[in-house]
A and B are shown apart, each in its own frame.
Chain A
Amino acid sequence: EAQVTQNPRYLITVTGKKLTVTCSQNMNHEYMSWYRQDPGLGLRQIYYSMNVEVTDKGDVPEGYKVSRKEKRNFPLILESPSPNQTSLYFCASSPQGGKNIQYFGAGTRLSVL
């Protein structure tokens, strides 16, 4: 089954404790992206990747890191999480060109205390 898998689905952590949210897709998509969703603000893009070893900042990259060493994986790293990073995070992937249809993971709800 074609899917985008995020782990974990739920995470509670404390300020300053490094964490990684993993994202994996099995559709051989070139493009992958991370978003955060906050009430009243909709979806905001954090980082995206056009292909392996190619990453770029989105609209709200501060406090986040990403890497794209393999085509299928695009982890989101919070080196020193802060309470303002409490949010619902989504990973998405899409094939390059064409209709640009993005496929989303089920989301990771993160709480930073």
Chain B
Amino acid sequence: GEDVEQSLFLSVREGDSSVINCTYTDSSSTYLYWYKQEPGAGLQLLTYIFSNMDMKQDQRLTVLLNKKDKHLSLRIADTQTGDSAIYFCAESLSGYSTLTFGKGTMLLVSP
């Protein structure tokens, strides 16, 4: 079945790079996503990557996808205190709207 795994916690200093990792089990995944949840708020889409891509860059965000190892990562360059949040990895299968989410990684950025 589908399963998405993430480490639960990451702590970095302001200005450093953050790398949040995710592994998934379903090789049929079509899209993979990163969502951000700030305290007291809903989930907000940060970025997504199509399964035939290896990398996607969007300003400070870089997504790397290794399909062979079923590994997805999110790199945040020059991490700021405002980046402190919970980050969720998610996958969807072709033709289905249902997403499978990981348990989330709490990122804590200290000054």
Question: What is the interface of chain A, defined by CB distance below 8 A to chain B?
Answer: 4, 30-31, 33, 35, 40-43, 45, 48, 50, 58, 90, 92, 94, 96-97, 99-107
Contact = CB atoms under 8 A, between A and B. Distances in A.
Contact of A42 (B33, B41, B92, B103): B103
B53 to A, nearest CB: 13
Contacts of A92: 43
Given A101-B33, A104-B44, A40 B98 contact: no
A94 B35 CA distance: 14
B82 interface: no
Interface residues of B, number: 22
Given A90-B42, A107-B41, A107-B42, A102 B99 contact: yes
A28 to B, nearest CB: 14
Contacts, number: 55
Contacts of A50: 97
Contact of A94 (B44, B95, B97): B97
A59 to B, nearest CB: 9
Summarize B's interface: helix, strand, loop or mixed: strand
A90 B95 CA distance: 23
Given A99-B31, A101-B45, A106-B42, A43 B101 contact: yes
B88 interface: yes
A30 B43 CA distance: 19
Contacts of B103: 40-42
Given A90-B43, A104-B44, A107-B41, A42 B102 contact: yes
11 contacts: A33-B98, A40-B103, A42-B104, A43-B43, A99-B31, A100-B97, A101-B33, A102-B45, A102-B99, A106-B41, A107-B41
A100 B101 contact: no
Nearest to A33: B98
A100 B43 contact: no
Contacts of B43: 43, 90, 92, 102, 104
Contacts of A31: 97
